[in-house]
Amino acid sequence: MAKLYFRHGTVGSAKTLNLLAVAHNYERQGKKIIVIKPGFDDRYGQNDVTSRAGLTRQAHLIIFPGDRIELEKFDGINCVLVDEVQFFAPEHIEQLRDVADQKRVPVICYGLRSDFRTKLFPGSQRLLELADSIEEIKTTCHRCNSKAIFNLKCIDGKAQLDGPSQQVAGDETFQPVCSVHFTEQVDLTSYEDLQTSHNDRELA
């Protein structure tokens, strides 16, 4: 029985690099793969799947909101690889489940588990509910040697909790951090904002 896999990790944990390595190994053996990515992710170009290490390849299938992942596209395919899966809608995850079940082809999904507010992405939540196998791709905290579990949004040195959940940005905006440093940075920003507000009232 083919499985639906969810391989999740924080930003900077080499998820896409892992995907590209798996794609290379399948193709080196003469096997057919399909690489899928969301249309929302256009950081390196809408058709490109690119790792922070600089390796890249083109996706075979770009999925936009409202698109349907049609089963007939997967005839004769040996493996399906999905990048940035957190940007997919829950119904797309259900369709990927159908690909694994009905086409008997493994579907390996890579992405973030939670956003910069530590909340699950809807697509990731559905994967946690439906996946046969859930694996963590580990990396260390940007600020210490502990394991990173959260994604810190940091602009001009300050933690941010504002803005849309779905955002495309790089190392200049998001950092992998442990729970201690996530809480520390968020609390520090809250304190600084409170002090600024207090000073503004005194000046008024």
**What is residue 102's three-state secondary structure?**
helix
* Average pLDDT over all residues of the chain: 89
User: Any idea what the CATH number is for the domain that residue 91 is in?
Assistant: 3.40.50.300
Q: Does residue 77 surpass a pLDDT of 90?
A: yes
Torsion angles phi and psi, residue 93, rounded to 5: -65, -40
Domain that holds residue 187: 4-203
| CB distance 21 to 69 below 8 Å | no
Select which of 27, 70, 72, 84 is catalytic: 84
- State yes or no: is 84 an active-site residue: yes
As a whole number of angstroms, the distance between CA 96 and CA 75 comes to 14
pLDDT of residue 203: 39
Domain count within the chain: 1
Through-space distance between the first and last CA atoms of the chain, rounded to whole angstroms: 69
Residue 202 has pLDDT above 60, yes or no: no
